[in-house]
Amino acid sequence: MPDTEDLAIFVRVVELGSLSAAGRDMRLSAAVVSNRIARLEKSVGTRLLNRTTRHVSLTEDGSRYYEHCVVILNELEQAESSLDAITAEPRGPIKVTVPTVFGRLHIAPHIPKFVERHPQMQVRLHMTDMLVDLIQERIDLAIRIAELTDSTAIVRKLANNRRLIVASPDYLKRRGTPQVPEDLLDHNCLLLRFPGSKQYRWTLRGPDGPMTLRVSGSMDSNNGEALRDWCLAGHGLALKSLWEIVDDLNEGRLVPVLTDYPPPSHGIYALYPHSQHAPPRVRVFIDFLAEVFGSKPSWEKKLKIKLP
């Protein structure tokens, strides 16, 4: 009878389209993945994959076998979840995706405490500013900071996300302080750009309702920390979340502008695929994050300056 881990490796190879990609995802070398696939094929007595140097594809037998493997692995996961519910002790790995800077500052530092509290669990933290397909990448849980429109996910709000337009005192001394939203069109705006990003359009709230401006600048990046560094160095204005710049505000390294026209606040959410029954390890991790952030997250508590 085939080893269930071999089945899981086979399924992941099919989903990601290569041995090396599956190996990286499962923390195995490509050689180990290849050997486990070969062992599985020997066990079932037929070739499951057609291999080239860069790609694999299913054989006819492999296609049928893959469908059964997915069902088997899903049933095993549900069985383990039922056992977790009985024992009240969650276990196993949880794969979490989170925005890079937020993950480094406000998620990663708390992971050791979580694992200490739940020693039978393993956390696989995937930090990226790209929007990851939860189903395709087999993500158990995603932390998103955005205005959510995905109706295929189950969502729990963890905290508010206050946002500000900021600049360094040096930049404002050289270029002047914008007084009304339209002034942004004459400033160098530092933009976060990646597929799906909308930060080249800044929306502000005013007495007559929201207004959206198509801002521009000489520098952009797909990394939020690069924007903060440029902003601190006096190269332009940036639209930043309070959780990232609270220390810079407190120390006067950055100054908020257009405070009478604040950007709309987004939430910080935990979400998981709607098609999946959330196992106890997912629920307990979400509960842990809710406990960490509390009713008032740490960055709100640290803020010393007064904002409208």
Q: Is residue 173 part of a domain?
A: yes
Residue 177's SS3 state is coil
How confident is the prediction for the chain on average, in pLDDT?
A: 87
Q: Is residue 307 part of a domain?
A: no
- pLDDT(95) > 60: yes
Q: What pLDDT digit, counting tens, does each position of 165-191 carry?
A: 999 999 999 999 999 999 999 999 999
Q: Please, is 208 exposed, middle or buried when counting C-beta atoms within 10 Å of its C-beta (0-12, 13-18, 19+)? A: exposed
The CA angle 11-12-17, to the nearest 5 degrees, is 105
Whether residue 72 sits in one domain with residue 46: yes
Whether residue 284 sits in one domain with residue 137: yes
Q: Is residue 229 part of a domain?
A: yes
Other CB atoms within 10 A of residue 45 CB: 7
> Quick one: CA torsion of 47, 48, 51, 55, rounded to 10 degrees?
170
- pLDDT(282) > 80: yes
Domain end residue (candidates: 42, 67, 86): 86
* Domain total of the chain: 3
Q: Is residue 186 part of a domain?
A: yes
Whether residue 109 sits in one domain with residue 175: no
Whether residue 151 sits in one domain with residue 278: yes
Return d(Cα 215, Cα 48) in angstroms, integer.
52
Q: What pLDDT digit, counting tens, does each position of 244-269 carry?
A: 999 999 999 999 999 999 998 889 99
167 strand-pairing partners: 255
- pLDDT(275) > 70: no
The CA angle 47-49-51, to the nearest 5 degrees, is 115
CB 204 within 8 A of CB 181: yes
User: According to DSSP H, which parts of the chain are helical?
Assistant: 4-16, 19-26, 30-44, 60-87, 100-102, 111-117, 169-175, 224-232, 242-250, 280-293, 298-302
- pLDDT(17) > 90: no
Return d(Cα 245, Cα 212) in angstroms, integer.
23
Q: Is residue 204 part of a domain?
A: yes
Return d(Cα 42, Cα 36) in angstroms, integer.
10
Other CB atoms within 10 A of residue 88 CB: 8
In the block, residue with structure tokens 């996300």? 161
Whether residue 178 sits in one domain with residue 146: no
Whether residue 168 sits in one domain with residue 156: no
Strands 209-214 and 201-206, bridge-based pairing: antiparallel
Whether residue 117 sits in one domain with residue 102: yes
- pLDDT(203) > 80: yes
Strands 141-146 and 266-273, bridge-based pairing: antiparallel
Return d(Cα 20, Cα 34) in angstroms, integer.
9
Q: What pLDDT digit, counting tens, does each position of 101-129 carry?
A: 999 999 999 999 999 999 999 999 999 88
* Structure-block tokens of residue 39: 């062992």
Whether residue 259 sits in one domain with residue 116: no
Domain end residue (candidates: 86, 119, 152): 86
- pLDDT(227) > 80: yes
Q: Is residue 55 part of a domain?
A: yes
Domain of 54, CATH number, reads 1.10.10.10
> Mean pLDDT lowest for which of 88-97, 236-245, 270-279?
270-279
Confidence of residue 276 (pLDDT cuts 50, 70, 90): low
* Structure-block tokens of residue 199: 């930060």
Confidence of residue 280 (pLDDT cuts 50, 70, 90): confident
Question: Could you tell me the residue range of the domain that residue 111 belongs to?
Answer: 89-161+267-302
Whether residue 253 sits in one domain with residue 173: yes
Whether residue 254 sits in one domain with residue 191: yes
- pLDDT(150) > 60: no
pLDDT at 197: 58
- pLDDT(25) > 90: no
CB 21 within 8 A of CB 55: no
Q: What is the DSSP string of 186-255?
A: GS-EEEE-STT--TTEEEEEETTEEEEEE---S-EES-HHHHHHHHHTTS-EEEEEHHHHHHHHHTTSSE
Q: What pLDDT digit, counting tens, does each position of 66-76 carry?
A: 888 888 887 77
Higher-confidence residue of 208 and 85: namely: 208
Return d(Cα 285, Cα 114) in angstroms, integer.
8
Q: Is residue 308 part of a domain?
A: no
Whether residue 130 sits in one domain with residue 209: no
Whether residue 229 sits in one domain with residue 297: no
Domain of 206, CATH number, reads 3.40.190.10
Q: Is residue 206 part of a domain?
A: yes
pLDDT at 238: 97
